[in-house]
């Protein structure tokens, strides 16, 4: 039987202000009680998983989840800046409606060419892929044959999932990532990953 590393890829819990469409990006927005509750439900679901490691974005909304997932386990968590959400630069924290009103041309460009477009001072999806995928590959290489938790963001997780199935970043919004969801990806030693669970 082929050896595999199983990654439990988790999106952080619900955040404060999630009822308004906005680009939070790398802003350190807090979790409301519901966000913590979602993490505790995940921890219960994963109770019997023999995870040997936990990695997380270094943003608070992910770190707090990693802390919850590691309770009662003989593992700590490793935070990685490379697993942060896409940076929206000067647009971070701004609602979509505000952006469309204040920057109508840039907003149109964002909608037309969302893969290559960068907000002022921010990243595009190719930049995100180029920092996230190598970090995930490094995690897999460090834990051959093991099971590992990775706590990330909506954009980060989509990029990892698209890479796993060989799809381009332009397919980003064909994948849903709900707050507090879990994905499972098996990375085999022959280099062919298999997505076992999506947005569960």
Give the number of domains in the chain. 1
φ, ψ for residue 47, nearest 5 deg: -55, -40
| Res. 66: pLDDT tops 70 | yes
Of the candidates 54, 81, 74, 75, which has an alpha carbon nearest to the alpha carbon of residue 66?
Answer: 54
CATH number of domain containing 63? 3.40.50.1240
Paired tokens of 192: 């062919």
Per-residue pLDDT tens digits for 172-195: 999 999 999 999 999 999 888 999
If you average pLDDT over residues 133-152, what whole number do you get?
97
Task: Tell me the angle at which helices 33-45 and 60-70 cross, rounded to the nearest 10 degrees.
Answer: 40
The predicted pLDDT at position 1 comes to: 58
Q: What percent of the chain stands above pLDDT 90?
A: 94
Cα 76 from Cα 104, distance rounded (Å)? 46
**Cβ of 5: how many Cβ atoms within 10 Å?**
21
For residue 86, the number of C-alpha atoms closer than 13 Å in the C-beta half-sphere is: 27
Query: Considering the entire predicted model, what is its pTM?
Result: 0.96
| Res. 2: pLDDT tops 80 | no
| Res. 63: pLDDT tops 70 | yes
Range of the domain at 64: 4-197
If you average pLDDT over residues 111-138, what whole number do you get?
96
φ, ψ for residue 9, nearest 5 deg: -95, 115
Per-residue pLDDT tens digits for 72-107: 999 999 999 999 999 999 999 999 999 999 999 999
């Amino acid at each position: 039987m082929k050896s595999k590393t199983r990654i439990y890829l988790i999106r952080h819990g619900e955040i404060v202000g999630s009822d308004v469409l906005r680009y939070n990006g790398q802003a350190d927005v807090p979790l409301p009680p519901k966000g913590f509750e979602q993490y505790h439900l995940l921890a219960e679901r994963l109770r019997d998983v023999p995870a040997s490691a936990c990695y997380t974005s270094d943003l608070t909304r992910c770190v707090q989840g990693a802390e919850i997932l590691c309770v009662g386990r003989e593992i700590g968590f490793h935070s990685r800046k490379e697993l942060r959400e896409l940076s929206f630069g000067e647009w971070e924290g701004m609602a979509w409606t505000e952006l469309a009103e204040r920057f109508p041309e840039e907003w149109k460009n964002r909608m037309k060419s969302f893969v290559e477009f960068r907000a002022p001072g921010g990243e595009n999806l190719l930049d995100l892929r180029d920092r996230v995928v190598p970090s995930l590959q490094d995690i897999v290489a460090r834990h051959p044959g093991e099971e590992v938790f990775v706590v990330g963001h909506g954009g980060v997780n989509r990029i990892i999932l698209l890479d796993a199935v060989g799809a381009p970043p332009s397919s980003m919004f064909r994948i849903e990532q709900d707050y507090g969801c879990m994905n499972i990806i098996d990375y085999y030693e022959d280099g062919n990953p298999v997505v076992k669970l999506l947005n569960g």
